[in-house]
Amino acid sequence: MPSLSDEQQLIANTVRSFVDREVIPVASRMEHDDEYPHQLVEQMKALGLFGLNVPEAWGGSDVDYTTFAIVFEELARGWLGLAGILGTHLVLCDVLTRFGTQEQKDRYLPVLAAGGRRGAIALSEPNAGTDLQSITTTARREGDHYLINGAKMWITNARHGEILLILAKTDPHARPAHTGMSAFIAEKGEPGLVVGRDIEKLGYKTVETCELYFENFRVPAENLIGGVEGRGFKHVMTGLEAERINVAARGLGLARAAFLEAIRYAQQRTTFGKLICEHQSIQIKLAEMATRIEASRLLIYSAAEKKDRGERCDLEAGMAKLFATETAADVSLEAMRILGGNGYSKDYPVERFYRDAPLLVIGGGTNELQRLIIARQLLARHSID
């Protein structure tokens, strides 16, 4: 791990202590019961985590992206679902900070930074997830409002969040399609918005994932992010670059948690007259797990540092997201194999890590998409023309 400043170390220690003291003791029980962590969210508000990437002028802490990644690593080490509640909220904050008008920032960022109202991002649809240019939700200007019609799916924070980032087509006939897409910030309360069912999932429980339905849902024209139509795709893709860093960090945190369970267990369990950590096959697994975890951390910090310099980092963020989340999936399975039957039991948290890990491989842009992004960037950088 690179050396951290005093401020970075203070934030890391504060979040780590919160996770050790408040999260880990209750995470498995609450996850199995599908109980929403209201009290933990209140404590996260008190820690200022909902304003991590909001400038100080609007009440946030505006941390660097290395610190940002450390926070998500520590939260996911305790409970991936808890990190998810925060991650989606901060994507909205990132888009609003970068592209919102002064009035939009003044109105929404202070309450978002305080966690007084939580954010959700309404991008994916039943037939458009990875390929956002295929969305069919529309926003039609009518006087001083837009009327939004369509459906969104896989929306984290849809039920408990109160402020939405909505991606819609203001010009459905534009070619290429992304030039006709716009982003809006919207508040619940107007008629025409229905929060549908909570989608039942393999893992990533407790944090709600819902469907949203819009029927002539009115959004004030001044809530068009940036005040100009046709730029929404760029807005959300820039926000998703930061999201990939936080998803990668979540993968790192989950992998660390699974590894620590495995290496502790390996030093306590005896088979064939000796501790299983003395068996060469277990040692090889532990070495591979630890090496991939450390490589994940370095990739994440590399992407974070480039983001902090204001440089384009979709290649580095894609590599970090791909490697760290695949590591989480593999390490959680290897941890289960080291624990044997106990790893399959709800008495140990490894089964929770195993169920949570696939979300990281799929969410934040599938890893198949990450490979394409990486390859295209490599070809562009190493063009022989």
pTM of the model: 0.95
Rounded to an integer, the average pLDDT of 179-186 is 97
Q: Tell me how many domains the chain contains.
A: 3
* CA angle centred on 30, ends 26 and 34, rounded to 5°: 170
173 with 219, same domain: the answer is: yes
Note the pLDDT of residue 320. 96
Task: Answer yes or no: do 315 and 347 share one domain.
Answer: yes
Q: Is the pLDDT of residue 237 over 90?
A: no
Domain that includes residue 27, residue range = 6-113
Residue type, 102: Q
pLDDT band at 130 (very low <50, low <70, confident <90, very high): confident
Residues 334-364 have pLDDT tens digits of 999 999 999 999 999 999 999 999 999 999 8
189 and 142, same structural domain? yes
Claim to verify: residue 130 and residue 268 sit in the same structural domain? no
Please give the Cα distance from 360 to 324 (Å, whole number).
9
Residue 239: which pLDDT band, with cuts at 50, 70 and 90?
confident
Is residue 1 scored above 70 in pLDDT? no
pLDDT(3) > 80 = no
| pLDDT given at position 312 | 85
Residue 58 has pLDDT above 70, yes or no: yes
Tell whether 48 and 150 lie within a shared domain.
no
Are both 16 and 76 inside the same structural domain?
yes
Residue 2's pLDDT band, with cuts at 50, 70 and 90, is low
Average pLDDT, the chain: 95
Q: For residue 385, name the pLDDT band (cuts at 50, 70, 90).
A: confident
Mean pLDDT across the stretch 167-178? 96
Residue 93 lies inside a defined structural domain of this protein: yes
Instruction: Tell me: pLDDT of 313 over 90.
Output: no
Mark out the alpha helices in 207-344 (DSSP H runs). Answer: 232-266, 280-308, 314-339
306 confidence band (pLDDT: 50, 70, 90): very high
| Residue 287 resides in a domain | yes
Please tell me whether residues 105 and 142 are part of one structural domain. no
pLDDT at 310 over 80: yes
Do 152 and 104 lie in one domain? The reply is: no
Q: For the residues 281-302, what does the mean pLDDT come to?
A: 97
Alpha helices in 100-193 (DSSP H): 102-113
Mean pLDDT for 14-26 is 98
Q: Is residue 1 part of a domain?
A: no
Residue 368 has pLDDT above 80, yes or no: yes
Instruction: State which of 8-12, 73-77, 313-317 shows the largest mean pLDDT.
Output: 73-77
> Using 50, 70 and 90 to split pLDDT, how confident is the model at 201?
very high
Based on the fold, state whether residues 245 and 365 are members of the same structural domain: yes
| Cα–Cα distances in angstroms (integers) from residue 367 to residues 249, 283, 317, 323, in the given order | 15, 29, 12, 9
CATH number of the structural domain spanning residue 30 = 1.10.540.10
Nearest Cα residue to 221 out of 168, 145, 139: 145
Q: What is the CATH number of the domain that holds 287?
A: 1.20.140.10
The verdict on 127 and 213 lying in the same domain is yes
Identify whether 292 is part of a domain: yes
Average pLDDT over residues 140-168: 97
The enclosing domain of 142 has a CATH number of: 2.40.110.10
pLDDT band at 206 (very low <50, low <70, confident <90, very high): confident
Number of H helices, E strands in the chain: 11, 9
373 and 254 assigned to the same domain: yes
Supply the residues annotated as catalytic: 243
pLDDT at residue 274, as a whole number: 96
